[in-house]
Structure 1
Amino acid sequence: MQLAHADPDPVGNGTAVAVQGRCPHRHFPLGASRRVGDAIQCAYHGITFDAAGACTFVPSQDKIPGVYAIKAYPLVERGLWAWIWPGDPALADESLIPDLGDIGYDLPGFHARALFYHHVAGRYQLLNDNLLDLSHLGYLHHSSIGTSDDAATPEEREADDRVIRSRRIMRNTLRPAVVDWQTDFDGPIDRVSGMDFHIPGFHAGIADVMVAQGHARAGELLRSNRVWHAVTPAGRTTTNYFFAMASRDPKALDEAESYLKPVIEEDIFATVEIEKIISTMDELPQELMLKSDGTAVLGRRALQRMMDAEARKTG
């Protein structure tokens, strides 16, 4: 499944649809065109297609050639996202979409919001690797959401055919700057940081901060956030990247949008810079792996199994 933040203004009858983004006339991008009722009209020559992809209007002639049509794709809206199946429609399977409960979307008292979209000039696996290895938080994001304990604390991992789960539980840990911004408590803290990777490109994160064990208020929850990173290829070396977040306090989401903007841009910077280097190489040198790469390795292997299985079906 490919995915996107769900369109708050879908077609006129309230149903969101996904259609091919290229006009068959001169290949003008339909994403840069206009919607007319339930149809999309190419902004170049006015050729119009309905929600099923059939051509309904050609301004320069009465007869519509039978070949004039664009593809329509299965689409399902879940939570903040629209999930699009760009392959064989007969193989579309809604059960592959992560359950909203599994990703922490419907936790009582939490408010969810889509915050960012970026078209990233780097292949999607680079962003997957970034989110599968949170040891980078203390270095790439050292001034905001991470500390060195994000790398020094061992991971607890679980994996099955669809999800890879990772948690770091940090006791009496260093305080990242984001904690000082979000709470007045200035004593010792415990942190839980983790990510659930719903293969092949959806990451559901947890970030909880509690008063540390041994303190008079031990275990008191100081802040609790859920974050979601939706990563889907735009091209061979480009990515559509969607970020959303949930918090108990809706006002905190307003502040988080400003606070986290440079954090997300740091991840994008790392992705783009790596892409610049590897795109110059005829053959990639072998990576020198570290202990902290365990979760990323599991993620890569899972994706490779999926690609191999798909190749066998289509081969």
Structure 2
Amino acid sequence: MYPFSEGSYAPRNGWYVAAFTSEIGEALLSRWILNQPVVLYRKADGTAVAVEGRCPHRHYPLGASKRVGDAVQCGYHGITFDSGGKCTFVPSQQSVPGVYSIRSYPLVERGLWAWIWPGDAGKADPSLIPDMEEIGFGLDGYRSEPFYYHEVDGRYQLLNDNLLDLTHLGYLHSSSIGTPDDAATPEERDTNERRVRSRRIMRNTKRQAVSEGRIDFDGPIDRVSGMDFHFPGFHAGIGEMLVSEGHPCAGEVLNSSRVWHAVTPAKRYTTNYFFAMGSIDHKGVDEMIEYLKPVLAEDMFATVEIEKIIRTMDELPPELMLKSDGTAVLGRRVLQKMMDAERADA
């Protein structure tokens, strides 16, 4: 499935964000993850769990059912499953068939996020979750908050591509967080087995519209902008504004922020999209909750409209690539390699 090889959609053996930790409570939370219905909730002791969201009897959605203690009781015929997926009660008979169970998913809470492993549970190593220090979460002096969750009508890789090519900031987001220098400035890339990193350092550059009235400085500025893609679906961004060289206060940090985009496949053509932010400007975090809503709406609009085109055309022409596509191409290749390895092991 575009842009991957035939039969490829998204890697299954990897940690994806299933929810913000603040979303998970006593009530059943329904979410589609890699084309499977999933239910998340907290047990009485506070532990968050994730189980299959489909009753094996008549495929009734367990997310539309109810809690009975720490178990989930299907709202259709009362069949009940514990938090590990084992069937414990069938109202219409005394014995429980041995085949009656639902899947239980590895789920780990770390940072603002609940991380789920949709693939082979035996390979679910929590050390593969992105390192919180590396992604810039929990830095001294930063206030970090979850902002939004959206289910976007576009395949997961379209949002990955969006975040792997930040040249769009100066055009799709020209009235808010970007300037033409986001595209014109050369990109520095660094990769390892866990992530692809991109950085742009813009010297003596034009300030973004978002900084007007928020930064008490009128002189020349330098900007650092970048994104780290932690496979298979987490993007950690950095944004810093400093006083430019030649000024008596050169190098002074005017603002520093981190943004986190979690991109989790929902169904084949829809995506769970989670956005969070941290900043040294604590008051500014509250202001950004409203300010960034239309910015993310622009990204989602682009994703939805591209999805409409690629799903409607009888034959999709090949992409005409640019130098700026290098990071996105690296990301695609890694994901394709992950999917190829899964097929080889099947």
Same-fold call, TM cutoff 0.5: yes
Name structure 2 gaps, 5 residues minimum.
Answer: 1-14, 26-41
Name 1:280's counterpart in structure 2.
Answer: 312
Q: What letter corresponds to residue 119 of structure 1 in structure 2?
A: E
Name 1:218's counterpart in structure 2.
Answer: 250
Name 1:2's counterpart in structure 2.
Answer: 16
Provide the rounded CA distance (Å) in 2 between the counterparts of 1:59 and 1:141.
56
Matched, 1:68 2:82: no
Q: What letter corresponds to residue 171 of structure 2 in structure 1?
A: Y
CA offset at residue 190 of structure 1?
Answer: 0.9
Task: Output the TM-score relative to the length of structure 1.
Answer: 0.94
Q: Name which of structure 1's ranges 32-41 and 278-287 shifts more when overlaid on structure 2.
A: 32-41
Which residues of 2 match residues 57-96 of structure 1 at below 5 A? Answer: 57-96=89-128
Provide the rounded CA distance (Å) in 2 between the counterparts of 1:61 and 1:113.
48
Q: What letter corresponds to residue 2 of structure 1 in structure 2?
A: Y
Name 1:247's counterpart in structure 2.
Answer: 279
Which residues of 2 match residues 85-234 of structure 1 at below 5 A? Answer: 85-234=117-266
> Are the equivalent residues in 2 in contact too, given 1:180–1:186 (CA < 8 A)?
no
Report the CA distance shift for 1:51/1:181 in structure 2 as closer, same or farther (over 3 A): farther
> Are the equivalent residues in 2 in contact too, given 1:137–1:145 (CA < 8 A)?
yes
Name 2:36's counterpart in structure 1.
Answer: none
Q: What letter corresponds to residue 144 of structure 1 in structure 2?
A: S
Report the CA distance shift for 1:29/1:109 in structure 2 as closer, same or farther (over 3 A): same
CA offset at residue 181 of structure 1?
Answer: 4.2
> Are the equivalent residues in 2 in contact too, given 1:182–1:223 (CA < 8 A)?
no
CA offset at residue 45 of structure 1?
Answer: 4.1
Which residues of 2 match residues 8-19 of structure 1 at below 5 A? Answer: 8-9=24-25, 10-19=42-51
Matched, 1:297 2:329: yes
> Are the equivalent residues in 1 in contact too, given 2:165–2:325 (CA < 8 A)?
yes
Q: What letter corresponds to residue 248 of structure 1 in structure 2?
A: I
For the aligned residue pairs, the C-alpha RMSD in angstroms reads 1.7
Report the CA distance shift for 1:147/1:38 in structure 2 as closer, same or farther (over 3 A): same
Q: How many equivalent pairs are there? A: 314
Instruction: State the structure with bigger RCO (CA 8 A, min sep 6), 1 or 2.
Output: 2
Task: Output the TM-score relative to the length of structure 2.
Answer: 0.86
Provide the rounded CA distance (Å) in 1 between the counterparts of 2:86 and 2:184.
56
CA offset at residue 230 of structure 1?
Answer: 0.7
**Structure 1 residue corresponding to 2:62, chosen from 11, 30, 33:** 30
Q: What letter corresponds to residue 3 of structure 1 in structure 2?
A: V
